[in-house]
Homo-oligomer: A and B are copies of this chain.
Amino acid sequence: MNSSPFSTKERILGAAESLFATHGFAGASLRQVTAAAKVNLAAVNYHFGSKDKLIEEVFRRRLDELNTRRLGALGRLAQKPDTTLEAVLEAYIGPALDLSRTGGGGAAFVRVLARAYAEHNETLRKFLSENYGHVLRQFAAEFQRLLPSLSKEELYWRLDIVTGALTYAMADFGIIQRKNEVAEQAHREQAADHLVHFAAAGLRAPSPHPAPRG
């Protein structure tokens, strides 16, 4: 049963990604995964050892590339002295958007990532923090350079808000119904454009300087 151009391992990863996105980590069973991947049930334990290890691999496969691309985009920008806030936001948001365009299953992975935030699982949090913390700090430094009037604390609060909005938008969780005539991909690009625009304005808001009143 290996007429597919993808290896058994890759097919499992793809199917798991898709099903975790739809049903969650606990909600998607290995039986569903192996059926969708058209491999035998026992293959998961053979190739990954356990369901938990499989989950980890689903993350690692995409995060490594996403991190690299974000930092690459940031590096190219940081050279230029006339970098705009929008450009840096685009460097952060763009690779996530590109990923969500990947035919394979990137769109599903973005939803999996959003789920990961919802899981308060400390192990997963630590894993993500170790990956994203690094990237976020580099972006924060660049944002700080462009927004010198913001305190470090104020900046981090705002970046956290941006991350939340990005997660939500990329995962297509919106309450508001998307018009049917707008295709999936066009919808994502619109979402990214609106997000960059909105986030830039939010980041540029004057610091509230919370002085004691009276």
Show the binding face of A for B, using Cβ within 8 Å.
21-27, 111, 114-115, 117-120, 128-129, 132-133, 136, 154, 156-165, 167-169, 171, 173-177, 190-191, 193-195, 197-205, 208
Contacts and interface: CB of A to CB of B under 8 A. Distances in A.
B205 A197 contact: yes
Contacts of A197: 205, 208
Contacts of A157: 190-191, 194
Contacts of A205: 197-198, 200-201
B160 A164 contact: no
B167 A168 contact: yes
A161 B165 contact: yes
Contacts of A191: 157
B129 A161 contact: no
A205 B196 CA distance: 11
Given A114-B118, A168-B164, A169-B164, A158 B23 contact: no
